Structure 1
Amino acid sequence: MYLLCRVLVVLALLQLAYSSCLAQLPQANWPTNGWRMATPESQGIDSGLIADAINTARQQGINIHSLLVVRNNYIVAEAYFFPYDGKAPHDLASVTKSITSTLIGLAIEAKKIKSVEQKALSFFSKNKIVNKDSRKEKITLEHLLTMSSGLNCISKGGEPTLWEMLNQPNNVQHMLDLPMVAEPGSNFVYCSGGMHLLSAIITQATGMKAEDFAKRLLFEPIGIKQAIWPVDPQIINHGFGNLHLLPRDMARIGVLMMNQGTWDNHRVINSEWVANATRSHIKTGNPRDYGFGWWVNPTGNQIPFEASGRGGQQISVIPSKNTVIVFNGGGFNTGEVMKQLLPAIKSDGPLPANPTAEAKLKEAIANAGKANTPTAISPLPAMAKAISGKTFVLQPNWTGLQALTLNFPTTGDPTARFSFIENGNMNRMEKVREVRPIGLDGVLRLSPNGRYGLSVGLRGKWEDEQTFVLEYDEIANLNSYTFRLTFTEKTVSIQAKERTGLFDEKFEGKLEEAK
């Protein structure tokens, strides 16, 4: 018995010493203050296969903006595709929902919220809510987290309920007033507005915006220093989308979740919350199930859970490989690129160094960041001269464009000018007047100070004698618009389309009358 006690004491001392050693180990491999880079082969990954994926994406014109591969807390591959350079925070779209969910978990841990079983309406006792019935009173935070509130939230056809909400003076009140169509918890209906209610609940419970709460308890502890998070008219952060983070900071979120909420030997999020948030809670009718704001893949899938957003925003977490893969895009299928990436993870230990493959990857990354080769400029049609410098007043439309003017060069200059007045849509509420350059040689012309101060890129070409096709790419703001403008000397007919599917509409304009 005495010997057993001595053994136990020795083991306890060894454990204490081991813990002390851990605390004294260099912390550089945790990317709190910056990421460490490593060659793919040193982390068991084939450089050549990653290079192939990058080259294929570029050659096929896939609208990918960024690709990061992190293994063992090292960045082993980081590619940015022109015109995005990774220096500006990128719109995460619905990846934001996974962050909103995480903040609910943090609010529960901070004892600001009792549990996910707490009734949603308990946070809105001062609101006068219409269509209130026994079913609405049963809605819990868990129902909002799992998209099963039973509210009349329509997602098919471009999420009309979301756009209705955004066009209201009080977004939260609009969602609270929706009628019920199902018993809470009975079925999954994708509902961005429900996630916005969760952002409002965070504000009600903590007394601060979701963004400020995130900075204190999530962003700062893991080294995230830069974020853009738009708000509604009541200063509630958009819980459903529009949060902007750097790709490297998206990877930080993935690494945190992969480590069950622990970061650099410190607990940031309760491990039970992480496990609960990233397991299946409800069937969606699609191959993936839904957790608490996270998409959950079927058992056996190499990627058990991920955060996904419109246009190709994604954080894919692969705990079995200690790997996180991050995408940003302007409208592409992440699955096609992922098919090429996953086979590159070949070993749990280092692979032999492969200078040839590493050089191939380095070249692929460099090429991804280059603009496409300029094309020859065709002679401008007579219509270009006829409408150049003239202003056309437009019918009301989704984009908020009120008037536009095109100025075409009289020489061989490959740059035109696009001037417009915009009265805002869901992304920009104020009225603005802008003048931006247009590349006529197939290359985007970049200009600063778009939405949230981020750059935009424009290029265009004459499709025929009357039709000018203008591409307006918001780059880090995700949206990319194509305007097909068919002119007469006094009118313009516009077919406008957003690449990721936000809208597709036609509207008309007429020459501004002389004053």
Structure 2
Amino acid sequence: MASPFPSVASQFPDGLRRGSPSSARVDSREILGFIDDVEAAGLELHDVMLWRDGLVVAEGWHWPYSGDRLRMTHSMTKSITACAIGMLVDAGKLALDQKVAPLFPEVEIDPDSPAARMTVEDLLTMRSGQGTEVSGSIWRGIATSWIAEFFRIPFDHEPGTTYVYSSAASYMLSAIVTRVTGETCFDFLKPRLFDPLGIANIRWDVGPDGINPGGNGISFTTADGLKIGILHAQKGLWQGQRILSEWWVDQATRIHAGEPGDQYGYHWVVGDGYFAMLGVFVQMVRVFPGSNAVLAFNSAMDESRVVLPHLNRHFPAAFVGGTDAAADAALAERLTGWSKRPDFVSLAPANEATFAGRWDVAPNDKGLTGIEFDFGPEEACVTLRDGEGAHRVTAGRDGWALAPTYLPGADMHHGYRMEDMPVAAGVRWIADNQLELVVHYLEAAFRDTFVFTVDRDRLVMERSVNINSGARAWPTLTAVRAE
């Protein structure tokens, strides 16, 4: 049987070579077992890429996701910020034991306080001395200086002693890069990391200080995350070019802090036989240095512990030895099938007149003031109005439409506004008086579901999301027809 995988000489836009699992001594049955376990557990896995010994040997994306689209990486960003710190340390421009406070003279800090004793390494190992975890979702709601905000967080411990995971520490590392180099972390890394690895389509948010959030904010493709893992699997080498020192990679990916089951290096999660980049809702790049292998995937899962048993069962077992072409073909068919567009059809006859037009929303704490429905032959437009204006989403009728949009509701999306993010949206009737709108955010883990119900002269809107760090549903909102 011919191999279902392209030749290793084939060229892909990401610049990575491809090959069959068995050609890289990877057992396809273990990868299939991992997928089976994840699906049986009801976990939402969006995509997967596996690399070993120079070859991408498995890859697939569930519809509506695809390999050419950016993906919000959340706290995977932390491991990339660590690369910038490592480069500065290797260049002698920064020391791990350097005190942080002198780099920010505009902030008044008691020279006898724990804040004054905090070092660069304390930030890298999440032992800043602060006793409160600060999520990126909290930072995104602050319009004033995040540097000043960092030093307002109470220092409950002596720096260097107690592990408390916090995106605030990562932000300060990015701020340090900017103070030392005069550039944002992104601008500093672009010629030194992103360009050499062929990471061209990348976006990194900027905070109110003009600084990239070091703990989150990067969006790039699944393959781009895989490349960062490969670079570390290869001890800092990329196609013969030294990007990071071997010493730094060794230091960054070994245990410095935490406790069993929650161990940490220099902004890398470290476990038994692996180290990983890890983002909220389980965006992950896991490196298996003993097997020269890297696994990358994006998902919408509550936390990494729900997938760890399945990961640990099948990896590194997948690297013990390869299988035959038939097993490789079965895996390729399974992953190719992920891209099939699912049916989305009405369960009741269309009833446009019941919904069409404008509705005034009763006062509510979400700030929503109006809802509008406009039906065309193949698409329907739903508009939500609030104090900022009208926010319109175009959805396929009994199908899907792809277009950028913005809908209010950052509280449903881990604090992200996600303006003009591409979405796949569809509407269908689920009863003669009920309309369902589903919105997939193509660069994120989120999927919104709206159910609109007309009861005589009243419209009821229910909104939920598949995953979030906070509430996963809005309170039920009601509306009446506009005069």
Give unpaired runs (5+ residues) of structure 2.
Answer: 1-7, 407-417
Q: CA offsets, 1:427-465, max 9 Å, x none?
A: xxxx56442233564x55432356465421224556667
Distance 2:189 2:365 in 1: 36
Q: Does 1:388 align with 2:356?
A: yes
Other-structure match for 1:46? 27
Instruction: Give the structure with the higher percent helix.
Output: 1
Other-structure match for 2:340? 370
Other-structure match for 1:457? 424
Other-structure match for 1:296? 270
In 2, are the aligned partners of 1:123 and 1:201 still within 8 Å (CA)? yes
Other-structure match for 2:101? 121
Report how far residue 69 of structure 1 moved: 0.5
Q: CA offsets, 1:72-99, max 9 Å, x none?
A: 1111111111110111121111101111
One-letter amino acid of the structure 1 residue matched with residue 57 of structure 2 = V
Q: Does 1:475 align with 2:442?
A: yes
Distance 1:295 1:341 in 2: 16
Instruction: Mark the CA change 1:205 to 1:31 in structure 2 (over 3 Å): closer, same or farther.
Output: farther
TM-score (norm 2): 0.84
Distance 1:403 1:475 in 2: 26
Distance 2:325 2:258 in 1: 46
Instruction: Give the structure with the higher percent strand.
Output: 2
Distance 2:298 2:132 in 1: 27
Q: Does 1:335 align with 2:308?
A: yes
Q: CA offsets, 1:310-352, max 9 Å, x none?
A: 12211100111110000112336543652345433232xxx46
Instruction: Mark the CA change 1:56 to 1:475 in structure 2 (over 3 Å): closer, same or farther.
Output: farther
In 1, are the aligned partners of 2:74 and 2:279 still within 8 Å (CA)? yes
Other-structure match for 1:417? 381
Instruction: Mark the CA change 1:464 to 1:514 in structure 2 (over 3 Å): closer, same or farther.
Output: closer
Q: CA offsets, 1:272-330, max 9 Å, x none?
A: 1111111111124x613011111111xxx34x211111122111001111100001123
Distance 1:92 1:76 in 2: 22
Q: Does 1:504 align with 2:472?
A: yes
One-letter amino acid of the structure 2 residue matched with residue 139 of structure 1 = M
Q: Does 1:69 align with 2:37?
A: no
Match of 1:312 among 257, 271, 282: 282
**RMSD across aligned C-alpha pairs, in angstroms?**
3.4
Match of 2:403 among 429, 438, 447: 447
Instruction: Mark the CA change 1:40 to 1:481 in structure 2 (over 3 Å): closer, same or farther.
Output: same
Larger radius of gyration: 1
Give unpaired runs (5+ residues) of structure 1.
Answer: 1-26, 424-430
Instruction: Mark the CA change 1:482 to 1:375 in structure 2 (over 3 Å): closer, same or farther.
Output: closer
Distance 1:462 1:376 in 2: 5
SS in 1 for 2:175: helix
| Equivalent residue pairs, number | 460
Instruction: Mark the CA change 1:472 to 1:31 in structure 2 (over 3 Å): closer, same or farther.
Output: closer
Instruction: Mark the CA change 1:465 to 1:282 in structure 2 (over 3 Å): closer, same or farther.
Output: farther
Percent identical pairs in the alignment equals: 26
In 2, are the aligned partners of 1:97 and 1:195 still within 8 Å (CA)? yes
Distance 2:450 2:298 in 1: 23
Instruction: Mark the CA change 1:452 to 1:322 in structure 2 (over 3 Å): closer, same or farther.
Output: farther
Other-structure match for 2:413? none
Q: Does 1:138 align with 2:94?
A: no
Match of 2:18 among 37, 49, 53: 37
Instruction: Mark the CA change 1:146 to 1:461 in structure 2 (over 3 Å): closer, same or farther.
Output: farther
Distance 2:389 2:469 in 1: 24
